[in-house]
Amino acid sequence: MAQQLDEFTRQFLETALWSSTDLETDKPLDDTHDIEDFAPATLAELVADCKAFQADNAADIAADPIRAGHDFWLTRCGHGAGFWDGDWPHDAGKRLTAASKVYGNVDLYVGDDGLVYA
């Protein structure tokens, strides 16, 4: 399924792995995992969030969907950067930040089967 993802969603998932750490090794998940390693149910849930966010915010993110996917993960999870940090037009950044927060934080972890779960 991962190979069929749009660029927004691919970047969202890559950013999720990049910004999350393995609880056992304390290393970034993207050191050992890629988007093909998400558990099917977790991937489906995150893809659905991305589709909904894109549909609801199409006008504001159309100019840069890759950066938008990156910032959607960072903003929804409360990292120190995102839509609000000045890279987006002020009003769009405010709207996108508010829209992201509705989705809430996601914590990733590696299961005993080696797949990434939320």
- The count of structural domains within the chain is 1
CA distance 111 to 104: 22
Are 47 and 105 in contact by the 8 Å Cβ rule? The answer is no
Residue 1 binned pLDDT confidence (cut-offs 50, 70, 90): low
Specify the pTM.
0.94
Q: What mean pLDDT value characterizes the chain?
A: 95
> Quick one: pLDDT at residue 52?
98
Q: Which domain holds residue 102?
A: 2-117
